[in-house]
């Protein structure tokens, strides 16, 4: 036993905080639904003033704001509350970086129920949700994902799009697998004026992507491919394939099966851009990619946060000769760049 571990004092706060962690989720969700952060804005506002602005009780608002202050979302001075830099950028609805809409998907009843009996889930080694968990065909929650998760994905989409247009060869045909909101393919289309984007996803989700493509002014270069990514024919002749936040839903062999299908649809020298949460080989760092496996345990039959070595093996098995990893700026995610 190391001296650092042997000298560490036992502290009950970690136990207390974790047992009561559900209150953090509920408090932040309430603040978002009450539009509390937007109501505060750039001002110092008292609980009584916020109660009037948010149609809530003064007592409830005081307790909520004090709690959020302890968590670090607010600051309190002279009895009034103001935003921190984090809440100002990510939780004020007027900010272009506002992430408040994420709560609709991340805290949806379907996803939350995947963690209602973690004891049984751990015993089984897979989700207790029926019909394949969140891998269920045409799951309505993926429409909610497409509608609510765009603020989180926009910076990554911009980074991926810049990587997509690197190189001497122009992009003519791009496949966006599990396109969701469509932001990744749309960002590529905005930089590669001659590229046709083929967006694959379930029909109900593609309605969201199609609307976003229309708003972005690229609908004349945007094609829809509805169906299951594993069984729907992709066609061929692609210069680039986008595979974002998808492989973590499946085990290694399923990933290899899909990656082989992707490799077959690419032109020689074509590239695959894979965006993922990739933990270090120790599986306990960095925190967000390392803990992402718990989300997959609760929500999928066999998904996981695969390590870099696992991805390198899977991509090699599928026929990709070169694989490089890029850290997405200001993000817990990594981008794998693979060449056929």
Which tokens is 45 given?
A: 């506002």
What is the structure's pLDDT at 169?
87
- pLDDT at residue 3, rounded to an integer: 53
Give the three-state DSSP class for 201.
Answer: strand
Q: Is the pLDDT of residue 1 over 50?
A: no
Per residue in 186-206, pLDDT (tens digit) is: 999 999 999 999 999 999 999
Give the pLDDT confidence of 278-304 residue by residue, as tens digits. Answer: 999 999 999 999 999 999 999 999 999
Contact status, residue 240 vs residue 267, Cβ threshold 8 Å: no
Q: What is the structure's pLDDT at 4?
A: 55
All domains of the chain, ordered by start, with CATH?
3-99 (1.10.10.10), 124-339 (3.40.50.150)
Percent of the chain with pLDDT over 90: 92
pLDDT at residue number 5: 56
Q: What is the overall mean pLDDT for the chain? A: 95
Percent of the chain with pLDDT over 70: 98
Whole-number pLDDT of residue 2: 52
Mean pLDDT, to the nearest integer, of 92-110? 94
Query: What is the per-residue burial (b if ≥16 Cβ within 10 Å, else e) of 197-222?
Result: bbbbbbeebbebbbebbeebebbebb
Going from the C-alpha of 268 to that of each of 97, 167, 240, 297, the distances in angstroms are 38, 14, 11, 37
pTM for the complete prediction? Answer: 0.93
Question: What secondary structure letter does DSSP report for 52?
Answer: H
Residue 152: its pLDDT value, please?
A: 84
Q: What is the pLDDT of residues 22-76, one digit of tens each?
A: 999 999 999 999 999 999 999 999 999 999 999 999 999 999 999 999 999 999 9
Residue 120: count other Cβ atoms within 10 Å of its Cβ: 9
Nearest-angstrom CA–CA distance, 154 and 189: 14
In 3-state terms, the chain is what percent helix, strand and coil (to 5)? 50, 15, 35
Q: Which residue has the higher pLDDT, 184 or 7?
A: 184
Residue 272 tokens read as 């695959």
Residue 6: the pLDDT is: 60
- Listing DSSP states for 129-182 in one string gives SSTTGGGSTT-THHHHHHHHSHHHHHHHHHHHHHHHT-SSSPP-EEEEET-TT-
What pLDDT shows up at residue 222? 98
CB 200, CB 175: distance < 8 Å: yes
| pLDDT (average), residues 9-34 | 96
């Amino acid at each position: 036993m190391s001296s650092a571990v042997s000298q560490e004092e036992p502290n009950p706060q970690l136990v207390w905080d974790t047992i009561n962690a559900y209150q953090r989720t509920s408090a932040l969700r309430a603040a978002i639904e009450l539009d509390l952060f937007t109501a505060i804005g750039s001002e110092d506002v008292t609980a009584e003033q916020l109660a009037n602005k948010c149609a809530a009780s003064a007592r409830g608002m005081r307790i909520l704001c004090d709690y959020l202050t302890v968590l670090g979302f607010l600051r309190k001075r002279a009895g009034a509350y103001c935003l921190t830099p984090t809440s100002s950028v990510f939780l004020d609805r007027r900010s272009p970086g506002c992430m408040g809409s994420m709560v609709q998907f991340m805290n949806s009843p379907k996803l939350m129920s995947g963690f209602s009996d973690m004891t049984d889930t751990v015993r089984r080694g897979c989700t207790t949700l029926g019909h394949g968990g969140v891998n269920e065909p045409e799951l309505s929650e993926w429409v909610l994902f497409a509608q609510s998760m765009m603020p989180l994905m926009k910076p990554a989409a911009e980074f991926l799009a810049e990587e997509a247009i690197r190189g001497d060869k122009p992009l003519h045909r791009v496949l966006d697998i599990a396109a969701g909101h469509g932001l990744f393919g749309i960002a590529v289309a905005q930089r590669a004026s001659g590229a046709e984007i083929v967006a694959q996803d379930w029909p109900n989700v593609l309605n969201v992507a199609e609307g976003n493509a229309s708003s972005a002014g690229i609908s004349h270069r945007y094609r829809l491919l509805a169906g299951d990514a594993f069984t729907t024919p992709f066609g061929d002749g692609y210069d680039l394939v986008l595979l974002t936040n998808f492989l973590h839903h499946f085990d290694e062999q399923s990933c290899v099966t899909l990656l082989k299908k992707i490799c077959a649809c690419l032109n020689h020298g074509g590239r695959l851009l894979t965006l993922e949460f990739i933990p270090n080989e120790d599986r306990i760092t960095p925190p967000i990619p390392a803990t992402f496996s718990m989300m997959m345990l609760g929500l999928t039959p066999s998904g996981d946060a695969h390590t870099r070595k696992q991805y390198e093996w899977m991509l090699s098995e599928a026929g990709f000769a070169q694989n490089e990893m890029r850290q997405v700026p200001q993000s817990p995610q990594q981008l794998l760049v693979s060449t056929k």
